[in-house]
């Protein structure tokens, strides 16, 4: 698999080793070390995937990730110095599709990238559905990946939108955890993987915060999730 990767990393040794490893695997890699240059570079090059360090000069990786998600639909992998630097939930809320802790192991990084790009290309080339779908007062636009309730936009990450979209498309019926993993970019299905549960939990909180009281996401034990009306 190949693609264009933008690596935003201020540690020269890590950046060069990562670049050499990915190029050996067939990827085209651009490297920048100053966070203040990242947004312009992303807008200009529109990479297939961004590898983004959290601690950067000029602008932090947190701010870059958050602002990038306002215009960028591709994949973002966050690099953290330790698992305690930011929780997985916090990173997902920022809009990251995956994260890795340093030191980076090349073969693991390549495997993560390949998984993310498979999700991305699967989503882009899957059979298109109706642009607009709605259930229980929630309306989604599949073309520009936006969701609304009572004409007010819902502030969702890409993965949250994708989960909501599949729940709306199957409103009233149970969607398996495996299916949710397949549509939520960056999650490889595993029965013990709680990433999908955290994303669903975050989506529930977003709906409550937006005062969406006409619908609820119900957990169906040992099966998956179901979008139901508030009276169901």
**In CATH, what is the architecture of 132-229?**
Orthogonal Bundle (1.10)
Q: Please report the pLDDT score of residue 100 as a whole number.
A: 84
Q: Which residue has the higher pLDDT, 139 or 106?
A: 139
CATH number, span 4-125: 3.40.50.2300
pLDDT digits (tens, 9 = 90+) for 143-195: 778 899 988 899 888 778 889 999 999 999 999 988 887 776 555 545 555 77
On the question of pLDDT at 84 being above 60, the answer is no
Q: Are 140 and 165 in contact (CB under 8 A)?
A: yes
Could you tell me the pLDDT band of residue 128, with boundaries at 50, 70 and 90? very low
The domain locations on the chain are 4-125, 132-229
For the full predicted model, state whether its pTM sits above 0.85: no
Distance between CA atoms of residues 3 and 51, nearest Å: 13
Listed in sequence order, the residues at least 6 apart from 180 whose beta carbon sits closer than 8 Å to its beta carbon are 163, 166, 196, 200, 224, 225
Q: Please report the pLDDT score of residue 75 as a whole number.
A: 86
Pairing, β 138-141 against β 146-149: antiparallel
């Amino acid at each position: 698999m190949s693609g264009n990767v933008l690596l935003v990393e201020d540690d020269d040794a890590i950046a060069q080793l990562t670049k050499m490893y990915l190029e050996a695997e067939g990827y085209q890699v651009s490297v920048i070390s100053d966070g203040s240059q990242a947004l312009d570079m992303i807008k200009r090059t529109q990479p297939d995937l961004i590898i983004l360090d959290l601690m950067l000069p000029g602008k932090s990786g947190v701010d870059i990730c958050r602002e990038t998600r306002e215009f960028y639909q591709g994949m973002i992998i966050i690099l953290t110095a330790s698992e305690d630097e930011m929780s997985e939930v916090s990173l997902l809320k920022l809009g990251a599709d995956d994260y890795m802790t340093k030191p980076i192991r090349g073969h693991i990084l390549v495997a993560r990238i390949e998984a993310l790009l498979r999700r991305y290309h699967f989503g882009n080339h899957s059979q298109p559905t109706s642009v607009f779908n709605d259930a229980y007062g929630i309306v989604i636009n599949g073309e520009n990946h936006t969701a609304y309730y009572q004409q007010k936009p819902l502030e969702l990450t890409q993965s949250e939108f994708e989960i909501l979209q599949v729940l709306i498309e199957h409103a009233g019926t149970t969607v398996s955890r495996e299916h949710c993993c397949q549509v939520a970019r960056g999650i490889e299905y595993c029965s013990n993987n709680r990433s999908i549960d955290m994303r669903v939990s975050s989506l529930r909180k977003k709906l409550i915060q937006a005062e969406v009281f006409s619908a609820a996401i119900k957990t169906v034990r040992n099966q998956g999730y179901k979008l139901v009306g508030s009276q169901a």
